[in-house]
Structure formats: C-alpha cells, structure tokens
Amino acid sequence: MTEPTSSTPGLVLTEITKTYPGVRALDGVSVTVERGKVHAILGENGAGKSTLVGIAAGSVVPDSGSIGLAGEEVARIQPRDAREKGLAIVYQIPALAPSLTVVDSVLLLLPESRRPQRRAAAGWLAAHFESLGLAIDPGALVGSLSLREAHLIEIAAALASEPSVLVLDEPTEALGGDETRWLFARIDELLARGAAVVYITHRIPEVVEIATDLTVLRDGRVVGRGRVADFSEEQIVELIVGRSLETTFPDKAAVTAADAVSATPAFSVVDASSKGFSGVSLDVAAGTIVGLAGVEGNGQRELLRALSGKGPMVGTIEVNGRRLAHRTAKAGSQLGIAYLPGDRIGEAMFGKMSVRENVVAPSIDLAMPSGFLDRAREYRLTREGIAGLALKSPTLETPVTSLSGGSQQKVLLARSRLGDPKVLLVEDPTQGVDAGARVEIYAFLRRLAESGVAIVVLSTDAVELEGLCDEVLVFSRGRVMARLRGDEVTERAITGAAVLSHHEQESAAPTISAVPATTRRRWWRGEGQAGILAALVIALAAVTTIVSPAFLNPLNVSQALAAAATLVIVGVAQLLVVMTGGIDLSVGSVVALSGVIVSFFADGDMAAFVVGVVLSIVAGLLVGVVNGLLVTRLNIPPVIATLVTSIAIVGVAQVLRPQPSTTATDSIMTAIGTTVGGVPLILVVALAIAVVAWLVIARTRLGRGLRAAGSDPVKANRMGVNVRAMRMFATVTAGGLSAVAGFALYTTTGIGDANTGQTLTLTSVTAIVIAGASIFGGSGSAIAVAVAGLLLETITSALTFLSLSLSWQYWVQGAFVLVAAVIPLVARRMRLRAIALRAATAAPGSDTPAGPRTRHARSSA
Amino acid sequence: MATVTPSGTRTEPINRRALASVVLSWPGTRALIAVVVLFAVSPLFSLGSVGPTAIVSMLPFAALIAVVAIGQTLVIQQGGLDLSVAGAVTLGAVFAAKLGSDPNIGPVPAVLIAILVTSLFGIISGLVVALLDLPPLVVTIASNALMIGVVQAVSGGFSSQAPSQLTTFALSRWIGLPVLAFIALAVVLVSQSVLKLTRLGRRFELVGENRRAAEYIGVSPKVYIVSAYWLSALLAAAAGVLLAGLLRIPTLTAGDAYLLPSIAAVVLGGTALTGGRGSVVGTALGALFLAQLSQLVQTFTQSTAVQNIVQALIIGVGIVAQLQLGGSTARLTGLVTKRKPHPSTSKRSVN
C-alpha cells in the first residue's frame, strides 16, 4: 500500500444524522477517507453502513451534517453531482434500471468528461470490458442479466469513470474468487493513482488484506475507528457485535449428539430440489435451531421459502411424521410450519394495520371462532403472543409501520408463536434490528426451541449463526457443502466453508459468462412489434377490400389517413408519459380544448389561424405543466391528477363552446387539408413527430433518462437521473402533443366541439398497449405506436364497410388491449425461465435475475 | 438461558388510547368534519341550499355516488382502481331501461339481468387482474370498452325510457326521505359491518394490505381480489338501475359522471390509494360531501360546464389536502398545535 504523499482527503463526512420512521439510521457519524488508502466501513446488518455511503453518493438525503467531496463541503448532494465530482459507487444491489441496455446504463453512469459519443459507445464499451477481462454484450438488456453480471457491469462502469473516490458496498458478495482477486488488483491500481476507496464488507479477512483504516458502526453510531493493523481479527469482530459473544447469545440446546441422532426429527426434509437448490436433506429435532449459511444466492433462501410450502418443489417435507401433501403456503401452515420472510415490509407485515391485527392475523380462526369480531379475545391473544418479548409500542392499536425494526420483528415472532407452530422458518431474524432487541430476539428463539419447536434460521451473519445455532448447513450452488455441528459451529468455519466452496466452483469456470447476443430478442424489443402491426393493417385492409371494394376509394383512404394522424399523435403523447411510469387521462380533453380554441381563429385569415394554433399548443403545454406539478410536487397518483384536470378542461372547453361550431372558412380548410401525393400533410407531420420521438427515446441522453425513470425510479435516481424532471418533461410534452392532435382532428372535421375527443384517451392507451410498450414504464417504441395508430384507424373505418355496428369498435379495442397486455407478460416469464435455465446449467448458482425484484423495491425505499 | 429475561419494570403496551383520540384517528373522521363544515357554510352562500327541499333533492345523488364509491373502495382496498364503473353504471341503466320497457321481459327480470350480467364484467376484470397480474388500470379501461360496446349493442345508439314502476320506486320516499338514501345506508351498514366485524372482512383487509404476506400466512388472495371487482361492477350496475329510474330516460353516457366522484369519495373518505385498510363509512361521507358541493355550485350557475370546472377544482383541492395530511392524525393535530416537526421527511414513493 503506498502512503499518500499529501493533500486533502478524498471524502469527508461530518456529523451525519439520518432518521427513518421508527429508526435512527445514523447519529452524528463522521468519517474521513484518505487518498491512496482503502477505508473499511464495518458493522452488522442495519448498522447504517449502506445509508452512510448512500448519503455520500447522493441517493439518500441526510437530515443534518455535511459531505466534503473534491474539496467542497455541502449539506446534500445530487447523485449526478457526486458522480461529476469523481465519486463512483457500486451498490450492494446493482442500481441499474432493468429496461435499459448495458451500454445505455454505462453511459448514464459515467460523468460528462469520461462519456464517449453514443455512436462510438458500444465499441468503446466492448473494448473497455475486454481490457477488464469481461465478456459482456453491451447491447443486452440489464433486466436479462444475472445479479452477478449486473454487479460486474456496475464495477466496470465505476472503473471507467476513473474515480477519485470509489465506494464499494459488499462488492464480493456476488463474486467468485478469481473475480475478487481481479477486483483487488483494480483497487490497487486506483490507489496508486491516488484515489480513495470506501469498502463495505462482512468479510474480516478481506479487510485485513486490503484496508488501511477502518470505521465500525453499530446502531447508527461510530463505535470504533483506527488503523486496521492495530486490531486483531477477534477484536474487530467484537467491535462489530458490540459485546462478547457470551452475553449476546443464550446457551445452546442441552441435547447431546447421541440424543440428537436417536430422537425422531420434528422436521424432516428429504431430497428437496427446485429452482436454485437440489438434493437437500435436513432433519431438525424439536428443541434445536439449525442455521442455513452460504454466500448470497446459493439456494439457501429459495430452500427456506420452499420449505414453507409455497411454490413448486420436488422431495418430501414431514412434520412429526405427517407429510406435506399440497404445495401451498396454506397446507404448510396447517401442518404447523410458520415462515417469517426476511423482507418484513414487503412480505410479512400488514403495515398500516395494528399490532393486534398483525399478531392475530394467522390465527383468525382462533380469534374469531364464531366468525365475528371479539375484541377482548384478540387483546388476550395478542398479549399471549407478545408475552416476554418486551415489545416497545404505545398501544396494541398502533400501526406496525411506526414501530422500530426490532419491535416489528417481535410482532412477527409473537404472531408465529400464537398458532402453536411445530416448525419455525426465520429469514434474517435480526436484519435492521438494534443491538438491544437482537439479544431479546435470540433469547426468544431459544426459549421457543426449548418449548419444543424445531427452528431453521437463515442468516447472512456468520457470527449470529455461530452464537445461535446447534447445527449449520453451508450452501454452495444449491447444495449443502458442509454440515457443522456442536463445537464446529464457528464464524470462521462457516465463512471458511462458504467462501472456500464458492472459490472451488469459480476456479472451475473462471471466465465470466457472456450474455448470448441473440438477434431474435432484439428484434422483439420494440420495432418488431411495428412489423406485426403493419402486417395486421395490410391484412385487415385486404380483407375489407375483398368484402367491400369501396374501402379503397381515394376519398375514404385519404379521410382515414388524416384521421389516423390524430391517433398517432395522442399515442406518442401517451407513450411519453407511460414511459416515465405515469399515465395521462387528460389526453382526450386536451384534444377537445385545442380544437375549440383553434375554431375561434378559423373564420379569418391565415395569420390569425396560425395564432390560434399556437395558442392551443400553449394551452396544451399549460395543462401538461399542471399535471406535472400535481404528480411530481404534490405526489398525487397520475391517474387521479389527470382525471381531475381532464374534467376541469372539458368544462373549460364547454364554457368556450357550449355548442359545436362550424365557422371555418373554405380557404383555411383547404389549406390544412393539403395532401402530398394523396397522403394528408397532417399525417406526414404526425409520422415526423413519431420518428423524432423515437430518435429521442432511443438515441439521446434525455431518452435514456426517460426510460430509466419509468423503469425503476429508485435505481434511476441512484444512476444520477433527475426523475422528477423526466416526469415533468413527459407530461408537458404530452400536453403539447395532445394539443397538436386536437389540431389534427380539426383538419379532418373543421368543427370545434368540446364533446369530441373523450374517446381518444382510451384510444391512446390502446395504441401504446398494442404497440408493446411496457405499461409499467421504461420501454416502448414510438414507431410501433404510430403503426398501432394506423391499425386502430383501419379498424374503425373498416367496420362500416364490413357492416359491423359501432359496438365492435369498442369490443375490438377492449379485446386488443387485454390480449396485447398479456403477450409481454408471457414473454417476460419465458425470458425469466431462460435466465433460470442458463443459471442452472452454465454459470454458478448466484444467478438471480436483477430485473423483476425492483418493482417491489419502489415503494419500500 | 444465559442472561436475558424480560425486564418486568418496562411498561407493557396498553390496549388502546382514550376513546376521543381513537375516534380522531378514524379515517372517516376528517370526512365527517368536512361534511359538517360544508353544511355549516352552505347557508352563507345560499340560504336555500340546506333547506328541506334542497336536501331531499340532493340525497338521491349522494346515495348513487355512495353506492358506486363503495364498490370503488373495495377495489382500491385491494390495491386496484376501477375505471370501468362508468361503463357499468351506464350498462346497468341501459339494460334496466331498454329491457324493462319491453313487455316480454318486465321490470323485475330486467333489473336482475342489468345487475347480474353487468357484474360478470367485473368478474372478468377481477380474474384478469388476479390471475395474470395485469395492471388494474389497463384491465378496467379494457373492460369499460367492452361494456360500452354492449351498451351500443343493446341500445342501438338510442336512449329509451325506463319502466314507470322503476321510476316510481326511485322517486319514492320513506318517512319523508328519498328511498335511495335508505338503500345507500343499507349498503354502507352491511359492507362496513362485514369488513370490520367478521372473519371474512378481516381477511379481505389483510389481503388488501399485503397480498404476499397474506399468502404466507395461509390466506389465498385471489378470491378476495376477484370478489372486489365483482362487487364493484355489481354495485355500479345497481346504481345504474336506480339512475335509470331517477332520470327516466338515461343517456348512453350517463355513467361517465360517476367515475371521478367515485374515486374522489374514496380519497376524501380516507382510504389510501395504495390499498389496504379502508373506511366505507368515510367513503359514504365523501359521497355526501360531493353531492352537497355539487348542489351548492348549482345554485350559482346552471351551466354544467362551469359546475364541472368548479367541482374538479374543489375535488382536486380535497384530494391534495387528504393526501398531504396523510393517514396520520398527528399531521392533522400538528396543523393546530405547534410542535417540533418530525425530524424525518418520510420519503414517499415517487409514484
């Protein structure tokens, strides 16, 4: 390690405090990271490490304190500014928006000065990956990558930005041995150039190997700092845990090894296999606690979940000799299996409901034997459940979200105890729990075991497993690699077995698997849909012409094409909003308003008419601004915000034109009805808008930002995208475009009518759905939307010629939306299955898709 | 056991706070305050707006909004949103008018057909949402289109007159008050009781609050989700039938006017749009608020256009106020009593 010659530190965090509801995540934490050194930040789960580096990187806003970066001191920093100032961060869970390609993601992550031209980017990135020894296709979608691949890409992007401060949050969790050595070599290069490195890890040996300084956090406070060389590994562990292991953990089960063998197991699993694990057998005797360990992503989580009864699994599960017959969570709980998921907010708690309702939730039959509420009985049951848990809550009616992490976990433990469980499966029991509550939870688990329950605990914390478990199974690639019993259960043996087995796996396949660049998948992505829709247009037109040749007469075609222009434009408008994760139900109303405004200027000369068109567009933009402010500033859900503005705008249009007007002069109608070679000029304009929108979305930095914002706002923010600005841009542009669509409609009718246009809102949603744009945001092709607009108009005008009633127009649209919405979901499921298959056959077991989990992460952030 | 036994000195949580503060924390309480305030200020604008005649003419509309909005509440509780209530109201109305005036069918079978057939579309929406996990917004936009298609097919594009029995019933009174108000009251009482006092209702709320957590504790969510959409369509159709009676000749867009109020009533009533715990009583009070508001606006202008604008504005303000106050009474009391602001700015979901 080279000693720094001089100069200011790379990163200075001063007196940082951050509070989340119920938790003080950081309390006056100060850290100084010197240049040319690796500074390790250590602590248990939930000690505040990730929050601290999130604050340095700008993705978390501190309540107080200051951030010193590149010689400047600020109270808060935007993610983009942090990156521009030379701070690169690799998050524990890669912050890459799933609907972007690898090259788009890296371009967003790089600071201005390091960013190559878009055109050259793919080649540059391929070269960069190659220089790092990675074989990753720059054109692949992030959502189709495994967690490990996504991790490597984030590391590669961080290295490409040549940072002066590099923050690594548990970087080696998802990496193998060779990759870890590769990463350490890159870190050494950076140090030689005078960069500062912040390194978060659970793995003490790594700290000893590369770090010079260390800071230890516990419950949001600094409890130790200094030079790594001054501490022994044992001292470091003791600092992290906060007290000697003896006082933290209860005594273990008194059963001897001989007893354990002779006793019939309360919980017995034979040869369990499913996605992520295979051939796992385990026996848990009543009164004992068995731990599951291993490097993240090696099947232990999947196993625990499958043991609860949910999801497909091969193999047998028996509780006290009774076999689990059906693969449902319900069947599992009927057998006496209780499962406490690690994602408390997402999968375990009923957040807004009270302590009482949460505790009795699985025991409703017990709480309401007659089927009707008996409040006194519920209070009694709740008190039974929380007895001895020292739950800190003002009342039993307090919503559980307002409790601390420790109290929440206690509520869940109380819940699982009530149903008289035979088996308790707990995932990360002390994640986000303060040190005091930890002790109480450990004691509770041990008491529960002593009362005759078989307990299985999954934890990422080897120290916790050592202190709590009678037996520990260490997983690698979905199999049990080591079974540690009695005195063998030590932190060192657990991490040793996990890391060792992992390394052996890795060295067998040292090169990082390339993502197969199938052209088929890219073809499906966006524009392929346009081809299918175009084929449908032609087929429908052909059929209609055969039935009724009059369909193809020039007048009808010209009218249909002009009418299609309106649909194309509203479709593109809706696409922009939906792409950023919103929806605009005011599209139709703006069309009506715009037509009404234009109609006031249509009875004079051309100059006045142009003024009218400009005014209508200004009005549309204003509506967009109002929508945008309601959504981004007042946090009103987009549906409701735009529904309200929609009704107000129709009202305005009705006030302006209580009766439809037909005052347009012939000269103006002729001018705006101009055709170019039989194609109405307005359609040309509409298609031009679609092409420009397509280029912006696919090719520009703005487009990348729009897609990222819609794909995953939290990750987009971490990538440095201003999500609010993107949403604002989308709604304002959509307002303006809807006004243009109003003008397009006017060119075909010449009528300013406040009551037209309402159905266009439905049509715009239909258009983007059948164009294959993701309804959840993040992707979509404006070209496909344009073709979808043409298709919808073809349907409308074909109906009359096929002598079908107006009803069919609605039915076809409704059915189209449903069918078109189902297709991408099916495609996504197939893609996920393909990833799983690839993970199972080729790469190590750590491959879990990076994409799908993000949707749930959104709300819990 | 090594060291830890629960310390006996620590105060155990009490069952619940004092009654007054429990009542204050009900989501419907704010809606009640809003209704009381609105009725209190109404005479300042127009003396007639709180007179018996005005109240009696307002109540049927409040009742219809309430019935539709209760269905909407159930769907929103399941984390969804039902944009097809507009189509369902219209379809119910058109079925009742068209089939009811057909001497071969008669009013009673017509009403049954109107409610049951329309509710089938709710089942379709619910199945698609629950089984295929499609976004409710898109699904209900589609099912709305399907229902409007049926409206066109049944009506042939023309409004028809509701049977006289239906009109007589819808306009009738009971102890001096419109019968529709009693129907709405019954719907409110039944649904609130089922939700809050029974096992079924508790499970419904658990699923709405956290579908995955409910599944892990052995409650199958799908049936609750489907039934929410089914009940929403059923209640909207029933409101449509009554609306047909009230209007005599329901238009083919009669239901459109009920979409925004149905959502607004839910929000004003304190049910979170993110789903979970809800208050049907709050929703009904929200409906009463909206109907009285519309009554008040009508005394100023006969133009529906202006009424729409003013209502949209006030609904917008109401929604913003309710959402900004959040679900917590702490913020409400914080508005009156000055206290130290909570250090954390709770980070909202950007959505």
Q: Tell me what pLDDT residue A129 has.
A: 84
pLDDT per residue over B299-313, tens digit each? 877 777 888 888 788
pLDDT per residue over B123-133, tens digit each? 999 999 998 88
| Residue A15 within a domain | yes
Separation between Cα atoms, residue A615 and residue A613, nearest integer Å = 5
Separation between Cα atoms, residue B68 and residue B303, nearest integer Å = 25
Residue A258 has pLDDT above 50, yes or no: no
Query: Is A640 within 8 Å of B319 when comparing Cβ atoms?
Result: yes
Residues of A in contact with B220 (CB under 8 A): 328, 330
Query: How much of chain A, in percent, has pLDDT values that exceed 70?
Result: 89
Q: Tell me what pLDDT residue B66 has.
A: 97
Separation between Cα atoms, residue A286 and residue A443, nearest integer Å = 17
Residues of B in contact with A330 (CB under 8 A): 218-220
**What end-to-end distance do the CA atoms of chain A give, in Å?**
37
Nearest to B213 among A348, A383, A398 (CB): A348
Query: Is A351 within 8 Å of B315 when comparing Cβ atoms?
Result: no
Q: Are residues A61 and A169 in the same domain?
A: yes
Higher-confidence residue: B119 or A315? B119
Q: Are residues A223 and A272 in the same domain?
A: no
**At A323, which CATH number?**
3.40.50.300
Q: Which of residues 88-107 of B touch A (CB under 8 A)?
A: none
Closest by CA to A841, choosing from A520, A522, A516, A517, is: A516
> In this structure, what are the phi and psi dihedrals at residue A299, rounded to the nearest 5 degrees?
100, -10
Query: Is B17 within 8 Å of A394 when comparing Cβ atoms?
Result: yes
Query: How much of chain B, in percent, has pLDDT values that exceed 90?
Result: 50
| Interface contact A754, partner B, CB < 8 A | yes
Average pLDDT, chain A: 84
| Interface contact B340, partner A, CB < 8 A | no
Residue A577 has pLDDT above 70, yes or no: yes
User: Span A707-736, mean pLDDT?
Assistant: 92
The dihedral sign for the CA sequence A315, A319, A324, A329: negative
Q: Are residues A93 and A16 in the same domain?
A: yes
User: Span A635-648, mean pLDDT?
Assistant: 89
Residues of B in contact with A813 (CB under 8 A): 142, 145
Q: Tell me what pLDDT residue B94 has.
A: 96
| Residue A801 within a domain | yes
Q: Total domain count for chain A?
A: 4
| Residue A515 within a domain | no
Residue B186 has pLDDT above 50, yes or no: yes
Residue pair A568/A771 in contact (Cβ under 8 Å)? The answer is no
Query: Is A397 within 8 Å of B305 when comparing Cβ atoms?
Result: no
Separation between Cα atoms, residue A710 and residue A775, nearest integer Å = 10
Residue pair A355/A361 in contact (Cβ under 8 Å)? The answer is no
User: Span A285-303, mean pLDDT?
Assistant: 87
Distance from CA of A795 to the nearest CA of B (A): 15
| Interface contact B2, partner A, CB < 8 A | yes
Residues of B in contact with A329 (CB under 8 A): 215-218
Distance from CA of A395 to the nearest CA of B (A): 5
H or E segment and range at residue A64: strand A64-69
Which of these three, A222, A247, A272, is where a domain ends?
A247
Q: Tell me what pLDDT residue B281 has.
A: 94
Query: Is A640 within 8 Å of B344 when comparing Cβ atoms?
Result: no
| Residue A847 within a domain | no
Length of chain A: 861
Q: Are residues A381 and A316 in the same domain?
A: no
Q: Spell out the domains of chain B, with CATH numbers in brackets.
A: 27-323 (1.10.3470)
Q: Are residues A200 and A329 in the same domain?
A: no
Q: Residue A108: which residues within 8 A CB-CB, separation 6 or more? A: A100, A701, A704, A705, A708, A719, A720, A721
Residue with tokens 């379809």: B91
Higher-confidence residue: A525 or A801? A801
Query: Is B144 within 8 Å of A439 when comparing Cβ atoms?
Result: no
Q: Are residues A237 and A99 in the same domain?
A: yes
Nearest to B145 among A724, A762, A861 (CB): A762
Nearest to A250 among B1, B273, B346 (CB): B1
Residue A626's pLDDT band (cuts 50, 70, 90): very high
Q: Are residues A179 and A323 in the same domain?
A: no
Nearest CA in chain B to A379: B15
Q: Are residues A106 and A225 in the same domain?
A: yes
Nearest to A361 among B206, B327, B346 (CB): B206
Q: Tell me what pLDDT residue A406 has.
A: 85
User: Span B223-242, mean pLDDT?
Assistant: 97
Residue B314's pLDDT band (cuts 50, 70, 90): confident
Q: What is Dmax (Cα atoms) for chain A?
A: 102
Q: Are residues A537 and A668 in the same domain?
A: yes
Q: Tell me what pLDDT residue A342 has.
A: 84
Residue A491 has pLDDT above 90, yes or no: no
What is the CB neighbour count within 10 angstroms for residue B157?
Answer: 11
H or E segment and range at residue A456: strand A454-458
Q: What is the ipTM of this complex?
A: 0.85
Query: Is B6 within 8 Å of A810 when comparing Cβ atoms?
Result: no
| Residue A802 within a domain | yes
User: Span A404-432, mean pLDDT?
Assistant: 88
Distance from CA of A416 to the nearest CA of B (A): 9
Best A354, A714, A810 member to test B by mutation, with max B CBs in 10 Å, is: A810
| Residue A835 within a domain | no
| Interface contact B157, partner A, CB < 8 A | yes
- Reading the block at residue A842, the tokens are 């080729």
Closest by CA to A413, choosing from A369, A436, A382, is: A382
Separation between Cα atoms, residue B322 and residue A405, nearest integer Å = 28
Query: Is A365 within 8 Å of B199 when comparing Cβ atoms?
Result: yes
Query: Is A658 within 8 Å of B303 when comparing Cβ atoms?
Result: yes
Best B14, B202, B346 member to test A by mutation, with max A CBs in 10 Å, is: B202
Separation between Cα atoms, residue B271 and residue B282, nearest integer Å = 8
Distances (CA, A) of A708 to A103, A626, A726, B121, B276: 13, 23, 9, 35, 29
pLDDT per residue over B24-63, tens digit each? 777 788 889 889 998 998 888 877 778 888 889 899 999 9
Residue pair B70/B188 in contact (Cβ under 8 Å)? The answer is yes
Range of the domain at A126: 11-247
Residues of A in contact with B199 (CB under 8 A): 364-365, 368, 371-372
Q: Tell me what pLDDT residue A259 has.
A: 53
Query: Is A713 within 8 Å of B320 when comparing Cβ atoms?
Result: no
Q: Tell me what pLDDT residue B53 has.
A: 86
pLDDT per residue over B66-78, tens digit each? 999 999 999 999 9
Separation between Cα atoms, residue A293 and residue A493, nearest integer Å = 11
User: Span A349-358, mean pLDDT?
Assistant: 91
Residue A849 has pLDDT above 70, yes or no: no
Query: Is A808 within 8 Å of B149 when comparing Cβ atoms?
Result: yes
- Reading the block at residue B242, the tokens are 């009554």
Best A640, A765, A796 member to test B by mutation, with max B CBs in 10 Å, is: A640
Nearest to A251 among B1, B81, B197 (CB): B1
Q: Tell me what pLDDT residue A834 has.
A: 65
Q: Residue A668: which residues within 8 A CB-CB, separation 6 or more? A: A602, A606, A609
| Interface contact B143, partner A, CB < 8 A | yes
Residue pair A76/A58 in contact (Cβ under 8 Å)? The answer is yes
User: Span B168-193, mean pLDDT?
Assistant: 94
User: Span B283-289, mean pLDDT?
Assistant: 94
Burial annotation A107-139 (CB, 10 A radius, 16+ → b, else e): bbbbbeebbbeeeebbebbbebbeebebebbbb
| Interface contact A806, partner B, CB < 8 A | yes
Nearest CA in chain A to B80: A639
Distance from CA of A695 to the nearest CA of B (A): 26
Residue pair A327/A310 in contact (Cβ under 8 Å)? The answer is yes
Q: Tell me what pLDDT residue A693 has.
A: 95
Q: Tell me what pLDDT residue A833 has.
A: 67
Q: Are residues A481 and A544 in the same domain?
A: no
Query: Is B14 within 8 Å of A395 when comparing Cβ atoms?
Result: yes
**At A773, which CATH number?**
1.10.3470
Q: What is the Rg, in whole angstroms, of the alpha carbon atoms belonging to chain B?
A: 22
| Interface contact B173, partner A, CB < 8 A | no
Separation between Cα atoms, residue A640 and residue B316, nearest integer Å = 9
User: Span A478-496, mean pLDDT?
Assistant: 85
Question: Which of the listed ranges A448-462, A553-567, A748-762, B192-206 does the model predict with the highest average pLDDT?
Answer: B192-206
Residue A38's pLDDT band (cuts 50, 70, 90): very high
Query: Is A329 within 8 Å of B205 when comparing Cβ atoms?
Result: no
Nearest to A821 among B138, B323, B346 (CB): B138
Q: Tell me what pLDDT residue B332 has.
A: 44
Which of these three, A480, A509, A538, is where a domain ends?
A509
Which of these three, A231, A247, A263, is where a domain ends?
A247
Q: Are residues A771 and A688 in the same domain?
A: yes
Separation between Cα atoms, residue A791 and residue A787, nearest integer Å = 6
| Residue A839 within a domain | no
Residue A512 has pLDDT above 50, yes or no: no
Separation between Cα atoms, residue A664 and residue A135, nearest integer Å = 63
Separation between Cα atoms, residue A472 and residue A456, nearest integer Å = 9
Count chain A–chain B contacts defined by CB atoms under 8 A. Answer: 277
pLDDT per residue over B79-118, tens digit each? 899 999 999 999 999 999 999 888 888 889 999 999 999 9
Residue A56 has pLDDT above 70, yes or no: yes
Q: Which of residues 291-310 of A touch B (CB under 8 A)?
A: 308, 310
Q: Are residues A416 and A459 in the same domain?
A: no
Distance from CA of A166 to the nearest CA of B (A): 27
User: Span A850-860, mean pLDDT?
Assistant: 36
Residue A423's pLDDT band (cuts 50, 70, 90): very high
**E strand map for A157-287:** 165-169, 196-200, 213-218, 221-227, 267-274, 277-284
**E strand map for A343-398:** none
Nearest CA in chain A to B215: A329
- Reading the block at residue B316, the tokens are 């917008």
Distance from CA of B159 to the nearest CA of A (A): 15
| Interface contact A714, partner B, CB < 8 A | yes
Residues of B in contact with A810 (CB under 8 A): 145-146, 148-149, 152
Distance from CA of B30 to the nearest CA of A (A): 18
